[in-house]
Structure 1
């Protein structure tokens, strides 16, 4: 679908949004301990037992920013190509362009560790709501936030101890209505097995993104290792050798990142009026700068492929969200839902909770005032890996000298191992790209905050964004993992003694950044959490657990059926085939076949299902999630939604929202006939 068609579709994203107390058919990103089994049986006639849920849970994998699944007894993990492209980028060089040419292995000795990557499998879920509520009782503002985070860290530490193979995480659900301790088995040696070339994994590029029909081999394989050997994984999901049928029931087991379906109207208005348009303007300009940078040399083009792809994806998501927030029907439906909850409150409820919606609305004035200062000083510069390293080192050195309960939450004892791994692992650094990002956000700070702002003066001093960013990037040694490790191990004394300009710059900004962060927690985060917990209690009283919580990048299960959709008199079929890929190819980017696919055309069965759509409810973070049939077999990997799903942050419309999946049979066909990965095919099929 062209960009022009995308814009035409945009105005109708939210026209049929329905906001009901209980989830409608196929709606919901359900937790494994509250899945609507009876509803699935009633709707689809499928009865799921405990063994099925246990197997799926133990084979579902969370990786950095994405989802995945164990698909062999030897630790083989299926995900999306776009979920491992950063690994391919980190392993690449000027001589080996793995991003654009692909990464292929014949033996396990050729599999390479992905820097910074971890894989986590959920073991248990424990309700800790009472513990968190007891710790925060009677507190307000920043004290409330601090107590909540400290208790979470304490529970995580108690749950996992010092075992680095286990990760514990306290996660809030229903906007603070519940808190649960999720315990994961963690793997820190995760190796790349297979990544297809960019033109195969992202055929159609940005024009096809969030559209259908699609023709993408958006799949990749990792392997879990421990003590230098592949992990034995007797619990895994078999790889289906037949495509699903139309109207067949399928499930998506993954880790949806963030939805805002339970936010209040006033919070959505702040997103609509302040943060979303601001971020969209900056994404748009940064996209132009990255394109210009990529055109300067072949090496620049290579290192920009992944960042540009990610930015364009984020821009389109933001545009879809903005359209949904601007649609009166969506906002009016949200207002009606709030009014219904308020009308159902008893006299006792009103005495106990007051009007938490009004409380949150009052907070929005401050939230809007503090948004830009907090964003530019606390968040924007971390777009640069080098500055992010520096800030992490500075804050870790300060915080590690304190008792765990008194630290910033990201530096609690239970969270330090992951922070250290991501800091020290040897990811590639590209100085020119780093400078581009630092310079851009320094320029935007001066533009949005003005040159007279104390924040701009603190950030720039007497220097220009161009000169300061160049000085910092040229002078720092933080691109070297050994330097980062020495500073981490040396603690506060090493940080104070360092003459590294990026470390000194992070030190210069940190006190004011933390001051702003505390002000935001005192005036916005704390009061909002308190009011949101009251709304959660009112909602629970009205609906119980018949609804699902917002996404929190924790394991969820959605259900739906394989089907297309009808829109403005046009029926969109649920399947594409390899024949459609070759018909769609034009020879021009982004519809140019990869050389391997062009050479293999005569070998490939044109009737094999390539991609398919289903009614499953997903969001960003679900990328790479296994799509599973009722027998517990993986029939594909979810990699996208259709154009209508972009409002999925705020609502689900079962008539239009669709998940887009690359089929298992297509993956097998390509591994065999395009890439000749016979060992991988045998491992997946057992034949």
Structure 2
């Protein structure tokens, strides 16, 4: 994919086009909305939208769709739960699932739901705490103030409250986002993967699409369905072409405001290395999957993530390799630096920020490989090792005052750590041996056989020998063992003979050392100087621009609209009938038997609109986002973007970038007439 279609209007620094922007709900572009679509959301509309939106802590979006805690998200966002609830004899991903009543709903071991309830600006507190500091002192002070702010926000309600300090505009603003936490999440309905991911990888990031990428969950509190006042009612008819629609969700990360040196590092180092790693892992996973049906099931979740990530990141790399885009980024940066230079006071304060960040990029290039392998965990691709690291570090960090801990073990973060540690989800030792053995192999290859850390890890064993020895002798697959070690603290950890615990104890000092170097030479430099550049942007533009995505709640607005590809006009809708026309009977273009049975029985409306595209600005993390109309009604469920949107991490083109969603009418049609979910449909429509 190339993006050389940039046209002049897009090249104005700081200018946003129609539909561009992932806006925080406390700074919506109301004047633009009114001017372009004749609609201005009022405070009540915004509050309902905020409270109806849901974040899945693991990296997706969702929404409440009934007063009894029913939650709508994507199939691929809940597939981890489906996988964890599956067995060799009962494959919920392949066969789907429907709870006929509340008693049949299945508990998802690791899904935490968050509902944003309050936003508090803490910019002054954070910046005051780090004023005049550099390097490790800057990072430590920032960690301490964040821990203090989140702890005060959570108070004594850690079971039901989560608080995060959110960095907006790359340090231009800091806000505390206070969430209501739902950790009891249960599976209600999911179609077969053949329906949810019809077309598989060939259709991924493409359109026309024919996917029913949906799962319904339910939030519980005190053992009962959560009572929800603000939820999104369903629109049976959906939205029409040209109609204004909104996407409210949690876009993960964009890099539209990075410096040129940071983008160059992404292009020349980070993305290239990541794509190589993913391609090698994909090959191993595919080979392992062919060994048996059970192996394919065990590897399926990781393989899907690898394939999806590879395609998305390849699109990002292609975007950054386009000289037109990089020249525009350079022109934007030059214009901002010129603006700064014209103000002597601003120049004295901010002028050196770009060069400082560029120097940090050179420092990162020197440590990227060991940092990724050791502290980033690329050399230890195993759930067992992840458990061991949390147990060892958790014991060490919890013994410290809250403000002195690593951020991931601050008091406000511990419920999330504990949920994963105590999870009853199964672990598959044979599969773990494959992934861990490969990661040991790559660590030796990339760091070198003579590297001191590699020698410490492998000793005289081969990667596969070490992997097998560790996994054959560990007890960390038992959640009761993990819970006892966690509760036993440092004393229990030091007494443990588990090989993964012993390995992590031996390696943790080296891992902390490379992390400390990264934080001192790279992260703190970027953070401090990005704050300065943000001040320059505010001086130039104010807050009329939206911040980069940070996996926090955002609203984008746009309209139902296709696009023109050369001489071909791409219409905005597909139909259920179109799915049958594309069906070949062979994977990945094989509709499940349930669909063919419904069609044969005359139950399906083949003319029902199925998937649609809109001009909403989205990115990874928006998966599962509700698409709503002006009345706050569900008209679609976001599950993808088109191929042009893969460069959306760096820029937005309203002519080509499209979000892809399941039509609300298709959800109701299939729920009732394919899956027998009439009672669920009634619940969704009861408002």
Pair in the same fold by TM > 0.5:
yes
1:356 aligned residue = 353
2:88 aligned residue = 94
1:85 and 1:195 in contact (8 A); partners too: no
**Which residue of 428, 435, 438 corresponds with 1:430?**
428
1:50 aligned residue = 43
- Tell me if 1:368 matches 2:359: no
Q: TM-score when scaled to structure 1?
A: 0.97
Q: How many residues align?
A: 678
- Tell me if 1:25 matches 2:18: yes
**Which residue of 30, 33, 36 corresponds with 2:29?**
36
Q: Offset of 1:488 from its aligned partner?
A: 0.2
2:194 and 2:590 in contact (8 A); partners too: yes
Q: Offset of 1:527 from its aligned partner?
A: 1.1
2:231 aligned residue = 236
- Offset from partner CA, 1:153-200 (integer Å, 9 cap, x none): 100111111202111110100010100000001111000001111101
- Offset from partner CA, 1:492-525 (integer Å, 9 cap, x none): 1111110111111111211100000001111111
**Which residue of 372, 392, 395 corresponds with 2:393?**
395
2:617 aligned residue = 617
2:143 and 2:404 in contact (8 A); partners too: no
1:74 and 1:230 in contact (8 A); partners too: yes
- Tell me if 1:11 matches 2:2: yes
2:649 aligned residue = 649
2:510 aligned residue = 512
SS of corresponding position for 2:170? helix
Distance 2:81 2:608 in 1: 29
Distance 2:174 2:463 in 1: 43
1:626 aligned residue = 626
2:337 and 2:351 in contact (8 A); partners too: no
SS of corresponding position for 1:241? coil
Q: Offset of 1:458 from its aligned partner?
A: 2.4
1:267 and 1:364 in contact (8 A); partners too: yes
1:479 aligned residue = 477
- Offset from partner CA, 1:456-484 (integer Å, 9 cap, x none): 22222221111111111111111111010
Q: 1:630 to 1:329 in 2, by over 3 A?
A: same
Q: 1:19 to 1:579 in 2, by over 3 A?
A: farther
Distance 2:380 2:80 in 1: 17
5+ residue gaps in structure 2?
A: none
- Offset from partner CA, 1:290-344 (integer Å, 9 cap, x none): 0111110111111222211111000001100110111101110000000110111
- Offset from partner CA, 1:409-450 (integer Å, 9 cap, x none): 111111111111111111221112211111111111111111
1:539 aligned residue = 537
Distance 2:419 2:659 in 1: 33
1:373 and 1:455 in contact (8 A); partners too: no
**Which residue of 322, 325, 328 corresponds with 1:333?**
328
5+ residue gaps in structure 1?
A: 1-9
1:32 and 1:557 in contact (8 A); partners too: yes
2:560 and 2:615 in contact (8 A); partners too: yes
Q: Offset of 1:14 from its aligned partner?
A: 6.7
2:62 and 2:624 in contact (8 A); partners too: yes
1:19 and 1:333 in contact (8 A); partners too: no
1:14 and 1:327 in contact (8 A); partners too: no
2:61 aligned residue = 67
Q: Offset of 1:11 from its aligned partner?
A: 2.9
Q: 1:423 to 1:248 in 2, by over 3 A?
A: same
Distance 1:13 1:88 in 2: 41
Distance 1:396 1:495 in 2: 10
1:14 and 1:647 in contact (8 A); partners too: no
1:18 and 1:653 in contact (8 A); partners too: no
Distance 1:393 1:502 in 2: 10
1:322 aligned residue = 317
Distance 1:183 1:396 in 2: 24
Q: Offset of 1:22 from its aligned partner?
A: 3.0
**Which residue of 151, 163, 166 corresponds with 1:168?**
163
1:521 aligned residue = 519
2:95 and 2:193 in contact (8 A); partners too: yes
Distance 1:508 1:486 in 2: 21
1:679 aligned residue = 679
1:247 and 1:561 in contact (8 A); partners too: yes
Give runs of aligned pairs for residues 494-643 of structure 1, distance below 5 A. 494-601=492-599, 602-643=602-643
Q: Offset of 1:19 from its aligned partner?
A: 6.0
- Tell me if 1:296 matches 2:291: yes
Q: TM-score when scaled to structure 2?
A: 0.97
SS of corresponding position for 1:344? helix
Distance 1:287 1:19 in 2: 41
Distance 2:428 2:635 in 1: 38
Distance 2:218 2:11 in 1: 42
- Offset from partner CA, 1:388-422 (integer Å, 9 cap, x none): 00100000011111101111011111111111111
1:411 aligned residue = 409
What RMSD over aligned residues (CA atoms) do the two structures have, in Å?
1.2
1:14 and 1:324 in contact (8 A); partners too: no
Higher mean alpha-carbon deviation, 439-448 vs 368-377, is at 439-448
What stretches of structure 1 move > 6 A for 4+ residues in a row?
A: none
Q: Offset of 1:381 from its aligned partner?
A: 4.1
